[in-house]
Amino acid sequence: MNIEEYQGVWVSIEQRDGEIANVSLELLGAGRDLADKLGVELCGVLLGDNVKPLCPTLFEYGADKVYVIDDPILKNYRTETHMVAVGDLVRKYKPEIFLYGATSNGKDLASAVATEVMTGLTADTTILDIDVEKRLFEASRPAFGGNIMATILCKKHRPQMATVRPKVMKALEPERGRQGTIVEEKIQLKEENLRTKVLEIVKDAGKKVNLEDADIIVAAGKGVRDEKGFQLVCDFAKVIGAEVGATRDVIEAGLLSHEYQIGQTGETVTPKLYFAFGISGAIQHVVGMKNSETIIAVNTDPNAQIFEVATYGIVGDLFEILPLLIEEFKVALKEEVGVVHA
Ligand code: FAD
């Protein structure tokens, strides 16, 4: 493989029913930065049925070029079709870096493409950088149970590929009317030759929590001790209209189910406001919430690591502070409602 032939930063654009996944827009933001440092084009790879109308949005979010394959065979994601389509594009146009969202489909596609074009893949990355001189992509992720950050290089193969967690990178502000180039390609597969058929799509209606999109999260740590302490956290969340989240220790204590877990093996969240009650700030938790706009932490231990990422820290006992907050907010919010109706 002559790695010098490979140029450009690519982003796999995930879409469902014509709606672009937020993570793809976030990756265009991260990819723009890498492409600018390398002095190359940022390209999107868009597959689906009747998806070409999405190209202008991708240009507005930073893409210079979009490779589109518009074909009914690509209507629903299938490893078989998407791997062949992307593999062919990679062999033909030779990108040097290729980013995918660390979603179920993104992870599936990236690993299949890595095998198809015989290159490396770093999964679940949270920090991306570039050694411009050596043109080496530096993809970092927590390793050894989150105790270290490992930076992984792919020196001898191209493209250098990574999946990136949703909500970790920031999308650019869209530049209205920004133009780019559309390159239309075809897929060389026929439906009758495929082994996998999509018979039905069943939407997951069972998910009760939506931490990813919450504006305010009140999170409980092991400091809440038991159901009584946990109830105080829930009461406070209810008063201010927030979602409840938790550390792994609280989940393991059986106070909440797993979909409420925030952190490395749970959800990554970026609310406007994140309250951390009785949370020590272990790296495995912090990677999932550190990009919250404002973090307010309450902990009895002045040396707790959570204070290193907190915007405001209160050294104190949550059993004293939460009842006060609940009462204060009840009064304040009632007054606010009163003013609105006056
Ligand atoms: P602790 O670390 O026990 O902290 C409790 C805190 O409460 C302390 O700081 C204490 O000072 C404070 N406190 C005690 N009493 C009070 C009080 N009355 N008022 C105020 N503060 C008080 N963890 C996650 O959260 N999410 C993950 O996704 C995750 N993934 C993991 C993956 C791996 C592979 C591993 C090895 C671990 C993972 N963990 C994860 C666990 C993580 O390492 C920590 O153990 C966990 O985050 C600690 O939870 P905690 O802060 O609730 O508990």
Is the C-beta atom of 57 inside 6 A of ligand 1? no
Query: Read out DSSP for 209-275?
Result: --GGG-SEEEEE-GGG-SHHHHHHHHHHHHHHT-EEEE-HHHHHTTSS-GGGBBSTTSB----SEEE
Q: Which one of 164, 193, 222 terminates a domain?
A: 193
Cβ of residue 318 lying under 6 Å from some atom of ligand 1:
yes
| Nearest C-alpha neighbor of 307 from the set 290, 329, 328, 324 | 290
Q: Give strand pairing partners of 161.
A: 98, 121
Q: 342 pLDDT exceeds 50?
A: no
Report the atom number in ligand 1 closest to the C-alpha of 317.
19
**Strands of 243-246's sheet, edge to edge?**
243-246, 216-220, 273-277, 294-299, 312-315
- Dump pLDDT digits (tens) for 164-195: 988 889 999 999 999 999 999 999 899 999 99
21 and 126: one domain? Answer: yes
**Cα–Cα dist 229/216, whole Å:** 20
Average pLDDT over residues 71-100: 97
Q: Look at ligand 1, atom 2, and give the residue with the nearest C-alpha.
A: 280
- In our burial notation (b when 16+ CB lie closer than 10 A, e otherwise), range 95-121 reads bbbbbbbbbebbbbbbbbbbebbebbb
**Which of 193, 225, 245 finishes a domain?**
193
* Domain extent at residue 335: 211-341
Q: Which two tokens stand for residue 215?
A: 């504006």
Please compute the mean of the pLDDT values over residues 244-268 and round it to a whole number. 94
Ligand 1 pocket, residue 278 CB under 6 Å: yes
Top mutation candidate among 144, 247, 303, 314 for ligand 1, by most atoms within 8 Å of CB: 247
Is the CB of 261 inside a 6 Å radius of any atom of ligand 1? yes
Instruction: For ligand 1, say whether the CB of 263 is within 6 Å of any of its atoms.
Output: yes
Question: Can you tell me the distance from the alpha carbon of 231 to that of 235, in angstroms, rounded to the nearest whole number?
Answer: 6
pLDDT of 166: 87
pLDDT band at 151 (very low <50, low <70, confident <90, very high): very high
Residue 154 and residue 39: Cα distance in Å, rounded? 20
Q: How many domains does one find in the chain?
A: 2
Assess if residue 159 is contained within a domain.
Answer: yes
| CA separation, residue 341 to residues 233, 331, 333, 336 (Å) | 29, 15, 12, 9
Instruction: Say how far apart CA 222 and CA 329 lie, in whole Å.
Output: 24
169 and 307 inside one domain: no
DSSP for 197-228, written as a single string: --------------GGG-SEEEEE-GGG-SHH
CATH number assigned to the domain comprising residue 85: 3.40.50.620
pLDDT confidence of residue 340: 45
Computed on alpha carbons and rounded to an integer, the radius of gyration of the chain in Å comes to 23
C-beta 285 within 6 A of ligand 1: yes
Q: Find out whether the beta carbon of 264 lies less than 6 Å from any atom of ligand 1.
A: yes
pLDDT at 336: 63
Block residue for tokens 């050294």: 315
Among candidate residues 175, 257, 179, the one with its CA nearest the CA of residue 211: 257
Is there a single domain that holds both residue 283 and residue 182?
A: no
Which residues fall within 8 angstroms of residue 301, CB to CB, at 6 or more apart? 280, 315
Please report whether residue 198 resides in a domain: no
87 Cβ below 6 A of ligand 1? no
CA 314, CA 183: separation in Å to the nearest integer? 55
Regarding the beta carbon of 320 and ligand 1, being less than 6 Å apart is answered: no
Give, for ligand 1, the residue of 248, 259, 269, 290 to mutate: max count of ligand atoms closer than 8 Å to Cβ: 248
Read off the tokens for 136: 């080496």
221 CA: nearest ligand 1 atom: 52
Q: How far is the CA of 294 from the centre of ligand 1 (A)?
A: 20
For residues 183 and 232, membership in a common domain is answered with: no
Determine the average pLDDT of the residues in 210-237.
94
In this prediction, residue 338 carries a pLDDT of 54
- The protein residue with its alpha carbon nearest to ligand 1, atom 38, reads 284
Q: Are residues 31 and 79 in the same domain?
A: yes
Nearest to 103 by CA among 201, 184, 22, 3: 22
Residue 206 lies in a domain: no
In this structure, the residue with its CA closest to atom 35 of ligand 1 is 145
In a domain, 205, yes or no: no
Average pLDDT score over the chain: 93
Sort 41 into a burial class: Cβ within 10 Å, 0-12 / 13-18 / 19+. middle
Is pLDDT at 337 greater than 60 in this prediction?
Answer: no
Q: Please give the pLDDT value at position 145.
A: 64
| Same-domain status, 316 and 257 | yes
Q: Tell whether ligand 1 has an atom less than 6 A from the beta carbon of residue 268.
A: no
- 201 is a domain residue: no
Residues 160, 246, single domain; the answer is: no
CA dihedral 259, 264, 265, 269 (to 10 degrees): 20
Residue 200 lies in a domain: no
Distance, CA of 203 to CA of 192 (rounded, Å): 26
pLDDT of residue 233: 97
Which residue blocks in the chain are alpha helix, DSSP H? 22-38, 55-60, 79-93, 104-117, 227-240, 248-252, 283-286, 306-309, 318-341
The answer to whether residues 145 and 40 belong to one domain is yes
Phi, psi of 337 (to 5 degrees): -60, -40
Residues 32 and 160 in one domain: yes
Residue nearest to atom 9 of ligand 1 (CA): 280
What pLDDT, on the 0 to 100 scale, is given for residue 203? 74
